[in-house]
Amino acid sequence: MTLASLNNETLVDIGVNLGNKAFRDDLPGTLQRALDANVRRLIITGTSEEESERAVELCRQFADEFPGMLHSTCGIHPHDAKSFTSASLATLKSLASEASVVAIGETGLDFNRNFSPATDQEKAFEAQLELAVELKLPVFMHERDAHQRQFEILRQYRDHLADGVIHCFTGDRTALFNYLDLDLYIGITGWICDERRGEILRSLVKSIPLERLMLETDSPYLLPRTLQPKPKDRHNQPAYLPWVLKEVAQCRDENELDVARQTTLNACAFFRLP
């Protein structure tokens, strides 16, 4: 499947873990396949100091071969919040001055796995929100089983934030409407292509205003179950974003072209892409 039938409408993948080892043997091929599928802009996710630096370096590395295609975020994931220090914050602030960096994150709260204590997660989250406010950058956010606390914290900062997106949303109706009440964007992944785990999301996605919706693969994770044939390595990649688009459009009973066009406009506005 490609978007050739959709008048070559461009897609933006707002969440790609391009620094993951799954991509290291074939980065140029990964990017070319994305272009061939009309996924022409990728936001590389920074999840730690090291991965944020790697994301910026990848943007530099491929700037000439794939001009204008790659952008990045810089942040520290809640899983790594226990290692967050004032030096970490200084590193993020320095990275955020790079032209390729378009958002602060991935940050937020994860009370599902609790790889870092909740208090450490909240401290790191608030520090990154404050950095986003200072730098006037949008925030790219994770949240798992922590909606109420994340919502409470975000309410304190929302009036001062440039913008925010809850990426890879998999929450319930209360969480969705609370985030929408804060005028946040919602990122949808291949989770919606899973008829088992994604049942709630499939019923909720039609409640997201189209102007608040964005698409992502979160690759190499969350390979769409609707993808045929499936790759032997079972790794997701940006070229598979059209399958997410297709499922989102079907669940919303909307035209794929309309969803493609508006989600691209949303992403370009959110990340201030040229």
Question: What local confidence, expressed as pLDDT, does residue 4 receive?
Answer: 44
Kindly tell me the sign of the dihedral angle through the C-alpha atoms of 136, 138, 144, 149: positive
User: Which residues are CB-contacts of 133 (< 8 A; sequence separation ≥ 6)?
Assistant: 157, 160, 161, 162
Query: For residues 265 and 261, what is the distance between their CA atoms, to the nearest angstrom?
Result: 6
Q: Tell if the pTM clears 0.75, that is, is over it.
A: yes
Query: For residues 249 and 251, what is the distance between their CA atoms, to the nearest angstrom?
Result: 6
Residue 257, domain CATH? 3.20.20.140
Question: What local confidence, expressed as pLDDT, does residue 8 receive?
Answer: 74
Question: What local confidence, expressed as pLDDT, does residue 5 receive?
Answer: 53
Name the stretches of the chain with pLDDT < 70: 1-7
Number of structural domains in the chain? 1
First to last CA, the chain: 27
State which residues form the domain around 175.
4-270
